[in-house]
Amino acid sequence: MCSYNKGRGHIDMIYADNAATTKMSKTAIDTMVALMNEEWGNPSSLYSRGQKAKEALETARETVAGLIGAQPNEILFTSGGSEADNQVIRSAAELGKKKGKMHIISTAFEHHAVLHTLAKLEKEGFDVTLLDVHEDGLVVPSEVEDAIRDDTCLVTIMFANNEIGTIQPIREIGAICREKGVLFHTDAVQAIGHVPVNVVDDNIDFLSASAHKFHGPKGVGFLYAKKGIRLTNLIEGGAQERGKRAGTENVPGIVAAAAAMKEACESMDEHAKHLVAARDKIIAGLEEIPHSALNGDPIRRLPSNVNFCFEGIEGESLLLLLDQKGIQASSGSACTSGSLDPSHVLLAIGRIHDVAHGSLRLSIGEDITDAEVDEIIEAVKDVVAYLRGFSPIWRDLMAGKKEFIL
Ligand SMILES: *Cc1c(COP(=O)(O)O)cnc(C)c1O
């Protein structure tokens, strides 16, 4: 039953892995190509070709800043979300260290760009508190408040989780940090272009973003650092980006990123309405599968995100069979590292190993059709039933030798 191939080519697969990366929009591609053809000068050059590129770069900075309520001089372009996370956390740590404040608060379900940076800082003598995330995938602001100490230099909590899509109470957490005089960073890579983000209203001191998560190019991102906060360089060299990030700027990529972000922000409401309807229909459809559960809060989640655990199956097999049926999705387990460890995010919300292994993340795109929604539901139902048919764990569960958890 699952061996049939729909005969879809690579092109007309249903792409449901937009949290991993998105297709560049036509506007972004056209912008990038135009810049590569015309404004290919070095923005540091003083002659007109360089100055044209510089103008394009600074216009992009104004666009990006305006879309999140920041000032242009508070935006620094980077090679992506990972670099922005690294630089922000390093900067806050260095500022903290100078004042003898070496405690950082974060959560157990952050992106590895944050978690691995924090692990390194721990080796350098910092004390890191990783807050629990609750079963609904949400951080509780009062628990952030309780964790803040006199020596806390940074709170870093993601805006929206990349696996389960839950949207955190960022404004409340930001307000607490402001009141306590602690710097607050949010990894907003999954949020920018998808849900409203405003650094002033949301009390944000530092933010990271990445263009390839909102239909811009890969290898381009930015950080926001509130005026007056001193950044630490990760890359030394020339005086680009106010001396805080050396290296000739990727002008075509940056300008395309700004164009993609503008487009995403302008169509956000319309897209969200369509996505939420499609998302909720998929969730309702998959909830009909016995011994399954949605991961993360059903409402406070990204419009594009569906994440389920199915008992008795392996996420990897599920993905491979869905791929054969023309659907490209992701599983929390074994995703990037090739290891068999289940997702740290699913473990953080309290899923046990066996259950966390059988996970599926669908991150749908704005252009999804009703027919594709139905196709996804049918395909997942088919594949889960098929895999359970020869799963030893499922056999034990059915025989009562093991207890169902979901
Ligand atoms: C994708 C992602 C990143 C990394 O961004 P890159 O541009 O790929 O380096 C960081 N944080 C989150 C939440 C992400 O989803």
- pLDDT category of residue 7 using cuts at 50, 70 and 90: very low
Q: Atom 3 in ligand 1: which residue has the minimum CA distance?
A: 81
Q: Whole-prediction pTM value?
A: 0.96
Does residue 335 carry a catalytic annotation?
A: yes
Give the residue carrying structure tokens 């805080």: 244
Q: How many CA atoms lie within 13 A of 362 on its CB side?
A: 31
Q: Where are the domains of the chain?
A: 14-18+268-398, 26-266
Residue 136 pLDDT: 97
Q: Is the CB of 221 under 6 A from ligand 1?
A: yes
CATH topology of domain 26-266: Aspartate Aminotransferase; domain 2 (3.40.640)
Both tokens assigned to 266: 């302008």
Q: Atom 10 in ligand 1: which residue has the minimum CA distance?
A: 81
Any idea what DSSP says for residue 72?
G
CATH of domain 14-18+268-398: 3.90.1150.10
Q: Atom 5 in ligand 1: which residue has the minimum CA distance?
A: 81
Q: Is the CB of 162 under 6 A from ligand 1?
A: yes
Which among 160, 391, 156 is positioned nearest to 297, based on CA atoms?
Answer: 160
Residue 1 pLDDT: 42
Strands 14-15 and 327-328, bridge-based pairing: parallel
DSSP conformation letters of 2-35: -S------STTSEE-BTTT--PPPHHHHHHHHHH
Q: Is the CB of 213 under 6 A from ligand 1?
A: yes
Least confident of 181-190, 225-234, 324-333: 324-333
What are 78-126's pLDDT values in tens digits? 999 999 999 999 999 999 999 999 999 999 999 999 999 999 999 999 9
| CA 187 / ligand 1 centre spacing (Å) | 8
- Percent share of the chain, pLDDT over 90: 93
DSSP conformation letters of 177-218: HHHHT-EEEEE-TTTTTTS---TTTTT-SEEEEEGGGTTS-T
Alpha-carbon separation of residue 258 from 106, 193, 214 (angstroms): 29, 11, 10
